[in-house]
Structure 1
Amino acid sequence: MRTQTVPLYWKVCLINGAVFLAGTVALLFFPVSVSRRPLVSEAVVLTLGLTVMLVLNALLLRASLAPIDRVVRQMAKVDLLEPGQRLPGGAGGPGGHLVASFNAMLDRLESERSSSDARALAAEEEERHRIARELHDEVGQQLTVVLLGLKQVQQRAPAELVDELELVRESARAGLDDVRRVARELRPGVLDDLGLHSALAALATGFSAHGGATVRRSIAPGLPALPPATELVVYRVAQEALTNAARHARATSVELTLQRLGDRVVLGVEDDGRGLPAGASGAGVRGMRERARSVGGVLELTGSPGKGTRVRLSVPVEAT
């Protein structure tokens, strides 16, 4: 059976009543009186008595109300994107129960948000997969047919039209390459077929080849196998970090590393770009944090204007 505690309202009333009762008893049993014209000694006695009553009242109320102030301050600054923000417990009474309830509420909110993020990210990946498949199967095949048709037309066309048809074929071929590249970015097949190591290598090579910054990669050998969902998160964070380095930071050189530190695998992406602006919290950064949190990972962004940016993602290694 749950223990019934005294409501905070009645506890405050009882504390104040006890203090005033103590003051009344003191006036009854101690030879203290006040003249019609109060003397200095009488004023001193009354002042001391009032001071003792106020201090005693404050000390008794502090134990009950101080936890409430801590909860109010924590509620004003709590951020669900930064999990683990809890108030120290251990105190009894209504304040202690309030702190425990507040921490339990944060546990539930973080758990529900993590589950919601995981479902949203799974749906997003499924939609990416569908769009990539349609691009590859529908648009890619249609462009291939166009290329074959242009080739046949070019063989039968008059000599003065051959060069123009060749330009059209080159444009169609470039469009087909772009469609295939977008499909690979939407759904990295190499990640499913060859694993995270090869997928990151292909990502870095493709990033450098398409006008991005020069990427130096260092992937430690013998890394433990990660769950497919975790591998996808590592890949997506690396992809977003490289994109930000080229699009926003205007970096010319990026270093990508993947290694094991203790019971975690750590991805690092460091660039020499313009640096991280103060209070940076765009959609890309929020997306990376949500992905990291969905697999129990921790994302850290460091940097300052003019000194580049470093993205560090650490994900747990499952025990085998």
Structure 2
Amino acid sequence: MSGGPQLKDAAPQPVLAIEGAALHRDGSELWSRLDLELQPGEFVAVLGPSGSGKTTLLRSILGLQPLSAGSIRVAGTPVQRGDARIGYIPQQRPLPPETSLRARDLVALGVNGTRFGLPIPRRGDRARVDALLEGVGASHYGDRPVGLLSGGEQQRLRVGQALADRPALLLCDEPLSNLDLANQRGVTDIIDRERRENGTAVLFVTHDINPILDRVDRILYIAGGRFLLGTPEEVLQTHVLSRLYGTPVFVFRAGGRLVVVGVPDAETHHEHDGEEPITTSTITPGGHA
């Protein structure tokens, strides 16, 4: 046995590494000096009022929005547009009833839709689509037109499409909006299973922490150009949010849900980043959703 120095196991490489990130828009600073690392299988929620830069952060990770300063790396390499290591789930928005695309065809776009030119089916593509449909609980309506499906059914297909390339990082932009509680639970279960079974890191933008509170490892809370990062127990406290907003904010538990009261009105401008505008408040403020 060698008497030389013993090597320690190297720390796992983060799936996502954001260092010193800053972003300015329309002459104002959304956030700066943002450092964030996500490890394999970690679930991080992103909260904050409208206009705080949540969707813009996702766009920067997708390579669609350049930073004003800092860097973003995915699995050790600089982020780039169209990175197959990143899956993206948008907000739920109903597709027109006349949409004739079948459910399986929508999921198949995630399997073969990133190729140059017209998608050409490969051996194994159908089996992969079938497996994705089964994984999101959509096998029984795989051949139905998506325009005739409910919002929850359509959103399950978007999740399947996002998981097609077995991403290392899954970005979720308010994927539970406009869904009833049953479908919120169903979509959350699929995302949670993916990160537990396959080690997918999840960055989950939401205006309501309650449906995912028991799954979240950490929270990134952005407000007024500042941010907090910590566990739910560390961040979701009256004195912590009051300090972040610079005004009294109260956190209560009611009926097993967190309620935040006293959050200042959102900025007059809302996030509008291309195809995914956001109009949100934070967590579940008293008086409105």
Same structural fold, with TM-score higher than 0.5 when normalized by the shorter chain = no
Which of the five TM-score ranges fits, normalised by the shorter chain? Answer: under 0.3
TM-score under structure 1 normalisation?
0.25
Structure with larger Rg: 1
Q: Which has the higher contact order (CA 8 A, sep 6+)?
A: 2
More strand by share: 2
More helix by share: 1
